[in-house]
Structure 1
Amino acid sequence: MGGVKREKISVTEDSKYIQQHLANERTYLAWIRTAIAIIGVGFLVTNLHYNMKESLSEVVDFIANIIGIASVGLGIITIIIATIVYLKKISSINHQTFISSKVSIITLSVFIILIAVLFGAYFILA
């Protein structure tokens, strides 16, 4: 009989905490989806503004442009922060030194609130 050659599978540091690493990946992907949605909303508002209405005023045009630019910028910042936090969590999970990332959550929340305020100003002035 021809023997089947089997490789010996070694346990890696990551495989000790599979559930935590998979949860970390799901969280990272959720942040990426959020970033894509933020960028999409910025494009949508800017595109609708210029396609649906004639220029109402320079202020409203300016706010629509700021919303678009800020949304793209926030989306990029979200991706960068999510990637940094994801990579830091890999090591902290393996070393069992996990600390939740409050600063990144608060920072992104403040930016989202600022864009929401711009949306409010846009709809009040439009």
Structure 2
Amino acid sequence: MNNALEKEFETIDSKYIQQHLANERTYLAWVRTSITIMGVGFLITNLHFSTMASNGKMGDILSKIIGLSSIIVGIFALIISTISYFIKGNDINKQTFRFSRILVVYLSIALILIFLIFGAYYLDVWGSFY
């Protein structure tokens, strides 16, 4: 009797519980990554303007670019990872698999650009101290 009751309430999602839980953990990791990216940009901008490390306008501009671009990259990473989460949920139920090319390529290119701006900021602000 108990077995028949369990079969009645079984959904397609319950057949692949482990995969759906892994998908959820991956999504939460992307959420943490998005928050971290935005936090780093916010931290750099706040540190720059609270210490007034630069005497020039270029350091101020680069600091603002780092802060704004980090927020934009973090928001887009969150949006893309949310879309990817739902697509993967459907793919799990259909037993098909496609890895996240778009999310990985986007985040890699965006972070490389932010790191290049970090490098320019470092050379402008801290390079003058040496």
Using structure 2 for the length normalisation, give the TM-score.
0.88
Q: List aligned pairs for 1:21-60, cutoff 5 A.
A: 21-53=20-52, 55-60=54-59
Q: What are the Cα deviations for residues 29-83 of structure 1, in whole angstroms up to 9, with x where unaligned?
A: 0000000000100110000000012542111110000000000001100100000
Q: CA deviation at 1:102?
A: 1.3
Whole-Å separation in 1 of the counterparts to 2:118 and 2:54: 17
For structure 2, the 5+ residue unaligned runs are: 126-130
Task: Give the residue type in structure 2 aligned to 1:21.
Answer: H
Partner of 2:87: 88
Whole-Å separation in 1 of the counterparts to 2:23 and 2:80: 14
Q: CA deviation at 1:98?
A: 1.2
Partner of 2:65: 66
Partner of 1:75: 74
Structure with the bigger percentage of helix: 2
Q: What are the Cα deviations for residues 76-119 of structure 1, in whole angstroms up to 9, with x where unaligned?
A: 00100000000100000000111111122011110011001111
Task: Give the residue type in structure 1 aligned to 2:88.
Answer: K
SS state of the match for residue 76, structure 1? helix
After the TM superposition, list the runs of 4 or more consecutive aligned residues in structure 1 that deviate by more than 4 angstroms: none
Task: Give the residue type in structure 2 aligned to 1:116.
Answer: F
For structure 1, the 5+ residue unaligned runs are: 1-7
Whole-Å separation in 2 of the counterparts to 1:11 and 1:99: 26
- RMSD, aligned α-carbons: 1.0
Using structure 1 for the length normalisation, give the TM-score.
0.91
Bigger drift between 103-112 and 21-30 goes to 103-112
Task: Give the residue type in structure 1 aligned to 2:82.
Answer: T
Identity value in percent: 51
